[in-house]
Structure 1
């Protein structure tokens, strides 16, 4: 099990990024969460098998069809044992 935190910038809010991320994560069998940030970026945390988490990190570099991802920052973190995947409220 591994954990990655991803922050993406560009046209990533108002394009169904969070909902599509939730569906992609569920299909990949990845736990975690995704939320909008007040500065227009999106932040996500993925936990699960390495190949599935890497698949989600790669997906964040593209996002859904209406997104324009200009930057993607990825950091490693120790897994916390999350279960399920949720869309969290915007971090104010």
Structure 2
């Protein structure tokens, strides 16, 4: 995981009952509140993939929210991957 104060790229795969329940919209709203850029999309296997770039602290907060109990639907688990930001993202989209 990147050090504090750095920009980071978070990729998270969220499994559970997360499709068709407003999860991507909710994720977009939280990411925009945190000042993150990226996107959320449904995958064919029923998960939601979330990619977010911005300050590491904001990415960590988003990850905590994804794992929290206030999400739409039901989250059974979240797998995360941290990497260097690419800097090509603007806004936050539902794909």
| TM-score, L = length of structure 1 | 0.88
Distance 1:55 1:19 in 2: 17
Please list every run of 5 or more consecutive structure 1 residues that lacks an aligned counterpart in the other structure: none
Distance 2:56 2:65 in 1: 14
1:37 matched to 2:46? The reply is no
- Count of residue pairs brought into register by the alignment: 88
Please list every run of 5 or more consecutive structure 2 residues that lacks an aligned counterpart in the other structure: 1-6
RMSD: 1.3
After the TM superposition, list the runs of 4 or more consecutive aligned residues in structure 1 that deviate by more than 3 angstroms: 63-66
1:50 to 56, 72, 76: 56
